Amino acid sequence: MKRESLVRKALRLATAIVALAAVGSSFGCAAMGKGTPKGPVMTLRMTATSRLNNCGKSVPQRLYYRVVQVTDAAPLAGMKLENIWDRESEMLGGAFVARGADLSIEPNASRPDAPVTLDPRTKAVVVIGNYCKTQGSCFFFSQPLPAKKKKALAIDLTADSTCIGPTRH
């Protein structure tokens, strides 16, 4: 008698779990369809050298970086940007559009980052590295968008001891 009761309870529990999973997945699919942003997409591939973010020493370190969208890259020229990390909005003022999530890469690694949907106001993307020691202004890389925005923009960058720049193939 007890065994029969346990089997019935287990079947009811399994049925309830399957029903909840079906309902949850249908809400998830519906939400994804409505919330998908439209606009050009940027993909970034970051490659790190063996000297990545080494602070002038022989030991490389992980580098944190992020993508910032701006309406105009001109304010970057001549600005003292060493302290821009976490102050993008303040330092770029009206040119600031959006800041992406913090990303990171290990020495000698290569990674594609998740595609980023660009805001329609974005005229350039800036990739900023949070280096422990910088040399000039090469700790960031600015890529103007083409005048006629396509569906996708691909950026391939390499990060080394103090700089981020285009990957040379």
- CA dist 9 and 91 (Å) reads 61
pTM for this entry: 0.74
pLDDT at 150: 67
Tokens 């490389």 belong to residue: 60
Question: pLDDT-derived band of residue 16, with 50, 70 and 90 as boundaries?
Answer: very low
| C-alpha distances out from residue 158 to 44, 47, 122, Å | 11, 5, 23
Q: Which residues contact 37 (CB under 8 A, 6 or more apart)?
A: 117
List, for residues 143-166, the tens digit of each pLDDT value: 999 877 667 889 999 999 999 999
pLDDT at 152: 81
pLDDT at 53: 95
Helix (H) or strand (E) holding 9, with range, is helix 2-35
